[in-house]
Amino acid sequence: MEAVRKHRISLRLVISLIIILISVVPTVFVSMALVGSAISKDLDSAAIEMQSQVLIMADQLQNDDYINKYSSSEMNAVIDQIADIWDGRVQITNSAGRIIKDTYNVDRGRYNVSEYVILALAGETTSQLDRENKTFAVAMPIYSVTETEIDTSVDEIDGSAEPVYHPVLKGSILVTVDMSRRITSLSQLQNQSYLLWLAVFFLAAMVALLVTIYVFKPYRRLVAQLDKAQQGTADRIEENAYSETARISELVNKTLGRAQALDRSRREFVSNVSHELKTPITSIRVLADSLNSMEGAPVEMYQEFMQDISKELERESNIIDDLLSMVRLEEGNIPLNISEVDVNTWLEGMLRRLSPLARAAEVDVAFESVRPVVAAFDEPKMGRVITNLTENAIKYNRQGGHVKVRLDADYHFFYISIEDDGIGIPEDALPHLFERFYRVDKARSREAGGTGLGLAISKQIINMHHGSITVSSVPGEGSVFSIKVPLEYREKPEEFSEEEIEEILEKEDTELEEEVLRIIEEQEAGDEN
């Protein structure tokens, strides 16, 4: 568990990183684009300006006929001045590529066979920015304004040949400028953008810290309250700063309520079990002490006391058996042995076995069957339900009272009602009737031999069959227990196939059709939810 916790990522860290990324990444891309665009525009502007200056210089060289009289001191001074201003190098060649002017005074008299000069001597103007070497080169041809060439080529349209005069190419001018200073100054602009990135990063980090502190403050309070609840020092938590924290508080409070209810139920159950088990033991101890204190008591008294002790031991055994049954039923450790049963015959047999108890209590038990019913259920477990409910109807009835067991069915469920005209059940006791160890009249229940678990076990068995059990009662007039159980046991209750629905709807029974349609609507509503 500790290893898993170490690898968990904090939500605050995730949100902080998101804020930083949202702030820094766009800034980086925008600044890179702006700086790159500024550098490119500056270099392109410088290149255009230099091309314009070289073009002007080439025109001046042509007008001055510099190639033929390159010893012109005025023009040489202009060339040297421009080279100094541009911090570059100017080379002028004749038509053969021989250098006649070099502002560096290094290669004069030599031949320049570079690509720029060759293209310029072919009549092309070239320029190139070498970012790696931080240089910019421009080469242009130089023509003579006094000398021309005659072109007598034939016109392709009419075949006529008229002379065309072209200026004579006399040389080239190559200007190479060192761009390192300009590029260095532009690099400083890029370095300033790095500082901007750093500033944005720290600003975003501060904003993320403040935001997470403010946003997570309610969650920290919520965690503190949860810690108190976990330690048992708080019964509820309240944190309504956000809808999310309010929802969490609501769910946790519901969970705490269920846990508290479960804990109360557990304590009550332990208390009830202790009390129920202690009562027979106390009775046995009193009887045994009474026997020990009586000297020379007649045998009949000993037999009577031993019979009472035997009854208390039997009661103790019944409580333990019912407790084990309840636990196994709730944990699902007792499987259902489903079999097809003739319910009419089965119920008649159950009531026949209870007839001695009814005669002893002077209660009349009647069975009414509306129609033959065949159903699939666990016969022993369902028999325990019917036995328990009928015995209660007999035991808590008045002398000369009546108990009516009625069986009915439709095409999906069978219904058993057990009605008596006995003492009835108070209205405030009805909601608690199926709780474990709950007794309406504790004294009379113990006298009747009840353990207080019969109705709880009965309800659990009915639930296992996906049925329902309800009770209605009027004090002094009697009670009615109603059982509703599917004819066929299914893993999921009230589940129809399409064929079953069509078959049921074809039946000429309007009331049944309405019931089936109601169940279908409930199914559809449940699917939507």
Q: What is the pLDDT of residues 24-59, one digit of tens each?
A: 788 778 777 777 777 777 777 777 888 888 888 888
DSSP 5-29: HHTPPPHHHHHHHHHHHHHHHHHHH
Report the percentage of the chain scoring pLDDT > 70.
73
> What CATH number is attached to the domain comprising 432?
3.30.565.10
- Whether 198 is covered by a domain: the verdict is no
Residue with tokens 């949860």, as numbered in its chain:
226
pLDDT exceeds 80 at position 302: no
**pLDDT average, residue stretch 437-447:** 56
Residue where a domain stops, chosen among 153, 186, 219 = 186
Report the candidate in 124, 175, 134 with the shortest Cα–Cα distance to residue 43.
Answer: 134
Cβ–Cβ < 8 Å for 269, 436:
yes
What local confidence, expressed as pLDDT, does residue 155 receive? 53
Provide the pairing of β-strand 88-94 with 413-420: unpaired
pLDDT exceeds 70 at position 268: no
Cβ–Cβ < 8 Å for 28, 37:
no
474 and 502 in one domain? no
Domains contained in the chain, number: 4
360 and 507 in one domain? no
Least trusted range by pLDDT, from 138-142, 194-198, 372-376, 491-495:
491-495
What local confidence, expressed as pLDDT, does residue 405 receive? 93
Please give the backbone phi and psi of residue 183, each rounded to the nearest 5 degrees, phi first: -65, -35
Give per-residue pLDDT as tens, 320-334: 766 666 666 566 656
475 and 360 in one domain? yes
Cβ–Cβ < 8 Å for 267, 292:
no
Domain extent, residue 171, equals 10-186
Residue 335 C-beta-side C-alpha neighbours within 13 Å: 3
Contacts of 393 (CB under 8 A, 6+ apart): 363, 403, 418, 419, 420, 422, 479, 481
- Whether 205 is covered by a domain: the verdict is no
What local confidence, expressed as pLDDT, does residue 513 receive? 52
What local confidence, expressed as pLDDT, does residue 333 receive? 59
357 and 302 in one domain? no
Cβ–Cβ < 8 Å for 336, 381:
yes
352 and 315 in one domain? no
27 and 174 in one domain? yes
- Whether 372 is covered by a domain: the verdict is yes
163 and 22 in one domain? yes
Tokens of 218: 């309610």
Specify whether the backbone of 163 is left (phi greater than 0), alpha (psi in -120 to 50) or beta. beta
175 and 33 in one domain? yes
Using pLDDT thresholds of 50, 70 and 90, give the confidence band for residue 94: confident
Using pLDDT thresholds of 50, 70 and 90, give the confidence band for residue 195: confident
Q: Is 357 exposed, middle or buried (0-12, 13-18, 19+ CB in 10 A)?
A: middle
**pLDDT average, residue stretch 230-235:** 72
**pLDDT average, residue stretch 176-192:** 72
Residue with tokens 């911090």, as numbered in its chain:
87
**pLDDT average, residue stretch 432-453:** 61
Cβ–Cβ < 8 Å for 462, 489:
no
464 and 514 in one domain? no
Residue with tokens 């009887």, as numbered in its chain:
287
CA gap 507, 64 in Å, rounded: 120
- Whether 230 is covered by a domain: the verdict is no
pLDDT exceeds 70 at position 518: no
> What CATH number is attached to the domain comprising 253?
1.10.287.130
**pLDDT average, residue stretch 301-306:** 74
- Whether 210 is covered by a domain: the verdict is no
- Whether 20 is covered by a domain: the verdict is yes
Least trusted range by pLDDT, from 4-8, 385-389, 398-402, 416-420:
4-8
- Whether 193 is covered by a domain: the verdict is no
What local confidence, expressed as pLDDT, does residue 1 receive? 42
CA gap 485, 193 in Å, rounded: 80
Report the candidate in 319, 324, 277 with the shortest Cα–Cα distance to residue 451.
Answer: 319
Report the candidate in 495, 464, 492 with the shortest Cα–Cα distance to residue 380.
Answer: 464
**pLDDT average, residue stretch 489-495:** 62
pLDDT exceeds 90 at position 406: yes
pLDDT exceeds 50 at position 122: yes
Q: What is the mean pLDDT of the chain?
A: 76
Tokens of 521: 């609507």
SS3 337: coil
pLDDT: which is higher, 425 or 1? 425
Cβ–Cβ < 8 Å for 440, 425:
yes
- Whether 194 is covered by a domain: the verdict is no
Q: Is 457 exposed, middle or buried (0-12, 13-18, 19+ CB in 10 A)?
A: buried
pLDDT exceeds 90 at position 404: yes
pLDDT: which is higher, 515 or 438? 438
Cβ–Cβ < 8 Å for 384, 321:
no
Cα–Cα–Cα angle for 46, 57, 164, rounded to 5 degrees: 120
Cβ–Cβ < 8 Å for 479, 471:
yes
Q: Which of 3-17, 115-129, 275-289 shows the highest mean pLDDT?
A: 115-129
pLDDT exceeds 50 at position 232: yes
Contacts of 421 (CB under 8 A, 6+ apart): 397, 398, 401, 402, 477, 478
What local confidence, expressed as pLDDT, does residue 516 receive? 53
Q: Is 219 exposed, middle or buried (0-12, 13-18, 19+ CB in 10 A)?
A: middle
Cross-strand pairs, 417: 406, 482
pLDDT exceeds 50 at position 529: no
Tokens of 255: 């969970």
Report the percentage of the chain scoring pLDDT > 90.
9
CA gap 59, 54 in Å, rounded: 9
484 and 431 in one domain? yes
CA dist 308 → 197, 293, 300 (Å): 94, 17, 12
SS3 402: strand
433 and 385 in one domain? yes
Cβ–Cβ < 8 Å for 453, 437:
yes
pLDDT: which is higher, 515 or 65? 65
384 and 446 in one domain? yes
